[in-house]
Structure 1
Amino acid sequence: MAAPRRTAQFSIRYAALSAEDPGTWRPLLNRVVAAERAGVDRVVLSGEHVVFGEHMDDYARPEIGGRAGGVQPTGPDGHFLEPMTTMSFLAGMTSRIRFTNSILLAALRRPIVLAKAAATLDVLSGGRLDLGVGIGWQREEYAAAGLDFARRGRLLDHTLEVCQSLWRERRASYHSPELSFENIHLNPKPVQPGGVPVWVSGTVNPGAMRRLARFGAGWIPWGPASEDVAALIETIPRMRAAVAALGRDPFELGIAGKLPNVLGRDGQPDLDATLDGLPALVAAGVTDIRLQLPVPEGITSGEDYLMPWVERFRQVTGNDEATDDGTLAPLRAGLG
């Protein structure tokens, strides 16, 4: 039987952070409602730090999980909204649009509490939650939570093991060096079959690829592939090969990718020029197209701004539920 082809989805990225106290977060709330009304598929809340230390330059160190040349958008006194709380609030203001975050430092939460919170949000939102997870880069954040930064990969795996066990099993038992329990019940279960979809962030490295193959519904690229379209397109086949080598069909996975803005003469994103880059991402297998646009603060003005983007996006990508007509076969064959 032919595998279903994923329809590319339009996601809008909104920053859930501010370098200084913004006074009000109403513009964020309005922009989310505007996105829902305009027909955007998903809101991606960017930015997650529970607390900050003062070594901000560590963000530019890829060897500890940062990004080469990266600059943290705030200082240590930046304001970051907690993603689970924020998505819960926003879900209550909407009825259709999906929510995710980039990224949740899931290992900082106790696993059973995160499992309960995510299941509750999924149920109350009608199954509109995706969780984007990663290991982070900030040593002080783990230290403040009483956790070993050097073990953050294992801590994340442990968290996901517990969450998925509790989401999927009526009577869950779990045993690991970190935790053991028998015959534990967690209800309500998430609406979505298999539990809340987990999108794993990382480069194509052994730890991240094992995590993606084992737990992932989708992949959030990190490093150069997270910012550069050419790097992303070049990296996708390597991700797929790594996941396939671990026994997982990589074509089951969604792939997130940023579509960079192309500015017009007025200094604003040009709709046609920006979306000219869309077919290449779709052809490469990106299923979650993430745009960051200067959406006006008002609900009506935001909706008016976004509607032409959504309409043009649908024209370029199509919006049917077509099945694989054979175009994926050469890609699958290439994985051996």
Structure 2
Amino acid sequence: MQSVSRLYREPWELDAGPEQLALVARAADRLGYAYVACCDHVVIPERLAEAMGTTWYDPVATLAWLAALTSRIRLLSHVAVAPLRHPLLSAKQYATLDLLSGGRLLLGVGAGHVPEEFQALGVDFHRRGAILDEGIVALSAALTDEYPVHRGARFAFSGLAVGPRPVQRPRPPIWVGGSSPRAVTRAALLGDGWLSQGDSIGQLSSQLQLIASVRRQAERGGPFVVNAIPPALHVGEPGWDVGRRTLAGKPERLAEALRGYGALGVTHLQLRPRSRDCQEYLDQLEALATDVLPLV
């Protein structure tokens, strides 16, 4: 609903708005889901408007609004296109969100992929990876220390206070998105977790091996989150055409498929139930939470 790309939206979401978004967030909060997520684009070029849609809610404003409507669910930016913004600006925005939500922020960042968006905002698209690498380090410093120090090729700051401070210590988690080798390596080296961008379960195995190898060589230990996106789901026999890429059927069948991700080392799954209207979406959320996930 907060983005209407035809790559994943349902037809009814084209006309959905804040009322439906609030219903879904409150239901997910009540049913025990781990997080709600909001993605990010500032502008969409005309050549991509048909495929991507032009409605993309701002993640900070949207997640802050959802924080006020919920009580325990985490709030994930999946993903904020971090190279488009100075890390001090991002630190200010997301630290405020973490404070106002009582420490529920999960900060997902990525490099972006739309050249015209970078050009419009005056950022070098071809250097976005390097900008993101330095930006994550700078952003981490600004979220960790009230008076952060960072000396880099693009960003440099010291002696400047960044407030308010986030609730989470030493800082909110930073999860890095992207499925190219460079992005996966970046997540392993700089992030607290990796946000897969739709890798199949077969592709995930090699990606996780790369993460393990990079972290081992860099002597990075401790917990590391792996978030995957399985195929779209529908609990029960849908009675309508959900397409070949949707996993539908009895709870046991869906649970068995989802357990395969856990066996690989995946820690979080981003679920997308198929639906024809908001009420069916809410019903599917409840069926997944009560009938499928306990089996996983």
SS of match in other structure, 1:43:
strand
Write out per-residue CA displacement over residues 146-185 of structure 1, whole angstroms, 9 at most, x where no aligned residue: 0111110121123222221122123222222223222221
Match of 2:52 among 65, 68, 74: 74
Match of 2:278 among 265, 289, 297: 297
Match of 1:50 among 17, 36, 42: 42
Distance 1:270 1:21, change over 3 A: closer
Most deviating of 131-140 and 289-298:
289-298
Residue 34 of structure 1: how far off its partner (Å): 1.3
Write out per-residue CA displacement over residues 89-145 of structure 1, whole angstroms, 9 at most, x where no aligned residue: 111111111111321101111211110110010011111111111111111100111
Question: Aligned partner of 2:40: which letter?
Answer: E
Match of 2:258 among 278, 291, 296: 278
Where in structure 2 are the equivalents of 1:143-222 lying within 5 Å? 143-203=119-179, 205=181, 207-222=182-197
The CA distance in 2 between the partners of 1:137 and 1:110, in whole Å, is 18
The CA distance in 1 between the partners of 2:212 and 2:55, in whole Å, is 37
Distance 1:240 1:252, change over 3 A: same
Which residue of 2 is the match for residue 235 of structure 1?
207
The CA distance in 1 between the partners of 2:68 and 2:238, in whole Å, is 39
Which residue of 2 is the match for residue 323 of structure 1?
none
Distance 1:52 1:231, change over 3 A: same
Residue 81 of structure 1: how far off its partner (Å): 0.6
Which residue of 1 is the match for residue 239 of structure 2?
266
Question: Aligned partner of 1:270: which letter?
Answer: G
Say whether residues 1:316 and 2:266 are aligned partners: no
Retained in 2: the 8 A contact 1:35–1:302?
no
Write out per-residue CA displacement over residues 21-65 of structure 1, whole angstroms, 9 at most, x where no aligned residue: 7373321221111111222221123x42110223439xxxxxxxx
Q: What percent of counterpart residues are identical?
A: 28
Say whether residues 1:88 and 2:64 are aligned partners: yes
Most deviating of 17-26 and 303-312:
17-26
Retained in 2: the 8 A contact 1:37–1:303?
no
Distance 1:180 1:102, change over 3 A: closer
Which residue of 2 is the match for residue 16 of structure 1?
2
The CA distance in 2 between the partners of 1:172 and 1:44, in whole Å, is 28
Retained in 1: the 8 A contact 2:188–2:211?
no
Which residue of 1 is the match for residue 83 of structure 2?
107
The CA distance in 2 between the partners of 1:144 and 1:185, in whole Å, is 30
Say whether residues 1:129 and 2:91 are aligned partners: no
State the Cα RMSD in Å.
2.5
Distance 1:25 1:270, change over 3 A: farther
Retained in 1: the 8 A contact 2:254–2:292?
no
Distance 1:105 1:17, change over 3 A: same
Retained in 2: the 8 A contact 1:271–1:309?
no
Retained in 2: the 8 A contact 1:39–1:307?
no
Distance 1:151 1:278, change over 3 A: same
Residue 210 of structure 1: how far off its partner (Å): 4.5
Write out per-residue CA displacement over residues 49-86 of structure 1, whole angstroms, 9 at most, x where no aligned residue: 110223439xxxxxxxxxxxxxx7434xx211111111
Retained in 1: the 8 A contact 2:99–2:166?
yes
The CA distance in 1 between the partners of 2:95 and 2:180, in whole Å, is 29
The CA distance in 2 between the partners of 1:304 and 1:209, in whole Å, is 35
Question: Aligned partner of 1:291: which letter?
Answer: L
Which residue of 1 is the match for residue 245 of structure 2?
none
Question: Aligned partner of 2:144: which letter?
Answer: R
Retained in 2: the 8 A contact 1:254–1:287?
yes
The CA distance in 2 between the partners of 1:240 and 1:29, in whole Å, is 38
Retained in 1: the 8 A contact 2:176–2:186?
yes
Question: Aligned partner of 2:186: which letter?
Answer: R
SS of match in other structure, 2:112:
coil
For structure 2, list consecutive stretches of 5 or more residues without a partner in the other structure: 6-12, 243-247
SS of match in other structure, 1:132:
strand
Retained in 1: the 8 A contact 2:255–2:293?
no
Residue 294 of structure 1: how far off its partner (Å): 3.5
How many pairs were matched up?
279
Match of 1:288 among 246, 262, 268: 268
Retained in 2: the 8 A contact 1:261–1:270?
no
